[in-house]
Amino acid sequence: MYSILLQASATGNTPMIYNILLWVAIIGVFYFFMIRPQQKKQKDQKSFVENLKKGDSVVTVGGLHGRIVSVEGATVTLEVDRGVKMTFEKSSIARELTVTAKPE
């Protein structure tokens, strides 16, 4: 009778270890495929915003294209057309505008 109880308890613990290992693996995959890339993207965006300089062509979060005229503290002034200047927060700059020439 005691041998049956010992066998039942011994076999009952192994699935628990597999469950724990499964959850650790799921959390690891979630971290490497979801959290880590997002942190890298945020770090790259922060670095980009901190390194904005006069003359860069950029696109705002709202889709407005312009060239940076001045950078002052937490704001940038964009020239969106000749003589038309608008001031934005640095955090509203989404990306750098790369103009590619059309092949003729």
**Contact by Cβ (8 Å): 64, 80:** yes
**Contact by Cβ (8 Å): 54, 70:** yes
Q: In the chain, where are the structural domains located? A: 1-51, 53-96
pLDDT for the residue numbered 38: 93
pLDDT for the residue numbered 104: 55
- Predicted structure pTM score: 0.64
Band of residue 28 on the pLDDT scale cut at 50, 70, 90: very high
Is it true that domain 53-96 has CATH number 1.25.40?
no
Band of residue 103 on the pLDDT scale cut at 50, 70, 90: low
pLDDT for the residue numbered 98: 73
Give per-residue pLDDT as tens, 50-101.
999 999 999 999 999 999 999 998 999 999 999 999 999 999 999 998 765 5
E strand spans, the chain: 57-60, 65-72, 75-81, 84-89, 93-96
